[in-house]
Amino acid sequence: MYFSDEDVLDTWFSSALFPFSAMGWPDQTSDLEKYYPTDLLETGSDILFFWVARMVMLGKTLTGKIPFSEVLLHGILRDAHGRKMSKSLGNVINPMDVINGISLQDLHKQVEESNLDPAEIEKAKAGQREQFPEGIRECGTDALRFTLCSYNIKAHEISMDVGHVTSNRHFCNKIWQAFKFVQNHLGDEYKPEQQFKLSGEENLIDHWVLSRLCHVVGLCDESFRTYDLHQVARILQSFWIQDFCDVYLECAKSVFHGGDEKRIGCTQHILYSCLETYLRLISPFMPFISEELFQRLPPRGGDWPSSICVASYPKPAQFPWQNSDLEDEVELVKAISTRVLSVAQEYHLKRKDLTAMVKVPSNSLDRFSELSEYILALSRIGSLSAISEDEPVPEGCVSTAIAPAIELHVIVKGQIDSEKEIAKLQKKLTKLEKKIEKLQGRISGKGYSEGTPEDVKSAHKDLMLNLQVEQDRIVRAIETLTKL
């Protein structure tokens, strides 16, 4: 029997009318005039012919205009193991379960109440037990949104791992905690300038963080223009954690403890400007936390936006303070600080008891003496000095080449029992060598090349590399201790 209804259209055909029918077409409405055609369509590559081509053809035929000038195709979302999301596998992730959290029992209940075959239900529940043994922790909307944006959407396939969302939940907490630090040190009476400008009181690390902020604004602008949202997410996360929190906030602490009112005022203005700019930068990815924190900021005055949703996005031309040479210098500061901390950890030493020296070319001595203040602030060791390349180094040092003509020397002699530490390291080295030997045997085994999946081979390669790096580190430590 054949049924016909003149009000029913084919699904893809009717969907193809959407760009202009939603604006009131065939009537010549103000919305149609204002919003059609648009600039960009974002969709999956699997419906390029079914939907995108039809929209273009019908748009051109019925309105005389192509409905969009660009099409951004995203990949297919898969689970953490690269499998297609399927109800029978139990690996379909409901966004609301990630936002609000859900127990394993409730995940099972969802499957049991579905229309799956009983055999498929048990299979799905087994998949859930493997993937979410403790259920899914509450992560919130911003963490989920940021995670999805942090994947390269242009890739053919995107592996969705809830673990990444949990990690970005911690990142949200990091933003909140740093905001509270800044808020506490601004105080209730702080009034920001209507427009940020340099005061002349800025020190080296102030100019550095402003340069890093300029760098971030420029990269965000560039990556948004090319629709590389994952690059924007990476840049924003890196700046906040590695530059703003790990370096600038640590150096700012000594300023607030110092009591110099001019320096404190200068640092407050820079903290506020970095924070306010960063909230506007990350707002498209984290609209809720950015709005909440924006409303807690003291307003600059003038044409201050009522909401971050209507605040202008930072533009590179507004941030003219980039200094690449200074950024390179502070990278050295970070590398030296990181190595000092590694030495303290490797030899189980208290940082406050450590003495270190940085050997540099004579013409760089004054500059590194200035940088020493920031190395001390980041490493929190007892003392640090810069010495010229001609000066001798005391015996009993752990020495590391940081860069060409720059060496770090940390005095450990007299602070550790060399024989005891060597015995510990030898024990670790023996265990490590057994792991390497076992893995090497597996890799060189018969049938490994042909019968092992590529992702497993890649994991084994990474593991071997990490084991060998650790092996080299222990061998070097033993050699150093033997010379003490």
Distance CA 359, CA 401 (A): 10
327-411 shares the fold of 159-322: no
pLDDT band for 6, please (50, 70, 90 cuts).
Answer: low
Architecture, CATH, for domain 159-322: Orthogonal Bundle (1.10)
What share of the chain in percent tops pLDDT 90?
A: 56
What pLDDT, on a 0 to 100 scale, did the predictor assign at position 316?
96
Give residue 151's region: left, alpha or beta (phi > 0; psi -120 to 50): beta
pLDDT, position 184: 95
The string of pLDDT tens digits covering residues 134-187 is 999 999 999 999 999 999 988 888 888 888 999 999 999 999 999 999 999 999
Confidence tier at 1 by pLDDT (50, 70, 90)? very low
Q: What is the predicted pLDDT for the residue at 8?
A: 57
H helical segments located in 47-190: 54-63, 95-100, 104-112, 118-131, 141-150, 162-186
The answer to whether residue 243 scores a pLDDT higher than 70 is: yes
What is the tens place of the pLDDT at every residue in 40-94? Answer: 999 988 888 889 999 999 999 999 999 999 999 988 888 777 777 776 666 778 9
Both tokens of 11, joined, read 């699904």
Q: Which residues are within 8 A (CB) of 142 and not within 5 positions of it... i.e. 6 or more apart?
A: 172, 285, 286, 287, 288, 289
- State the fold for domain 327-411: hypothetical protein PF0899 fold (3.30.2320)
Residues sharing a CB contact under 8 Å with residue 5, sequence separation 6 or more, in sequence order: none
Per-residue pLDDT tens for 416-457?
777 887 888 889 899 999 999 999 988 888 888 887 888 788
- Residue-wise pLDDT for 10-22, tens only, equals 778 888 999 999 9
Q: 165, 99 in Cβ contact below 8 A?
A: no
Report residue 270's pLDDT band, with 50, 70 and 90 as the boundaries: very high
Owner of token pair 């049924």: 3
Distance CA 362, CA 175 (A): 41
Domain ranges, ordered by start, for the chain = 11-74, 78-138, 159-322, 327-411, 418-444+452-483
Is the pTM value of this prediction over 0.75? yes
